[in-house]
Chain A
């Protein structure tokens, strides 16, 4: 893999980049099985997590990943920083770069912010989710989880269900899966599923279409109420119309399909309680693989901060 400073989108990666990061995700996961869970790969390097949006899973996953590679992790808490006093992103980054950070892991509600930061600094910038644009580390852990379950991604059919319009996960995960030879379809309430002519991805609006398509994996998304200032659909319809109900779970079980979800899960909305204990529910695998994928990503990026001392 050629030296790469940042991870902003899956689109920006070569096939070799994708393959390399996925392959070493497996090696990183092996580290977990040892009694000493830490390797010195990033010893002496400093990692900053800069989350402008609330996050528990992604942030702690990145922090655990960085710790297991022996990096020093600093957490920048936006709510108590000068950002709330109106400081621009550029000025925040200048301040942080004066502290000689090697890796910046950033999440922001605006699409495109991580790219702006990446252009502006020498640290390796990892996009941990920007608006509805991209969430590449999620894409890697999803691809790895499917590969782990089925041996390979190519040829598999994955239907992503829910609020596609607001979902960076849908964009990044569909991109990596298609790059790896899988087929992807979208399903959800009409106003939340972009037209196929824009996405190049088949668009369904009910479960019958989904089952007819014969998917291998049902990938559920959270309904992002916080991004909907005006409702897009009658909320009380969602579970019956688009969720995995107990009846649909039985059909999913009969067909031996897998269920995935990037979390956090809204039980009773996109998924029923029973589905969380379903034998092919891969949600916990995703969480575990997230740490390995993020270790692999950190390991493969090359900050340009070496000569910046």
Chain B
């Protein structure tokens, strides 16, 4: 559905050098990204600020032309075939609106029907579905400028889907939303992705979005792909492990060794200990620990994707 090969984008930036002279310096925003995304996939595209996420998205949607490499979306060339591509993709920018600020929300939807030339029956059916799933009915008659951010984002999602796009691009769709609205957006997208009709590509800084929605994770840094695969593969690659945290009734004896695990944390006068599980199951580790010391409380902690990604960005 989406194919890029060695996709590049360079920006020329003029830098002051001397009193009147300005030098041209080339900044590589995207430095050779090759991706292949199949129909129905849900892909999270993440990276630190300035990594080239938005630039890639703009090249995929036909807003910017690439400086080099190849790009194909829905079998079309984004920039030369922009208007044809626009009919097949939906785009949600978290930070800017596709809706008409001064008009009631339902009028924006009616306008989009004209802009995308959607038959009335199809439009009505899709709108019906979004109204049910996103609870739009309470604010359909409210001018967009008076909507809360959460309500507006639900409107934006609907607006991007009314023409039945094959690919949906979401640029930070949960930015600035409260917990409840984030949940609403995520469950809607999860349901949409589950149908398999729509390919989803989303950029975000909120890794919970990715954990909840995306099987596949593409991490970009300095314009290059540094990871492309599942979240599990990311954990495996960066050696992030599950850990066992135990509160003990008596201090942990000096020199204690738990087979297959490494002691990584000791707190509260050796009453609270953390073991990283290397090649052993949580069950076996717990059994070994219980026979050695008396335990008051115990928990198994999943590896934190935030930590992994932070390490990835830092390296």
A and B from one assembly?
no
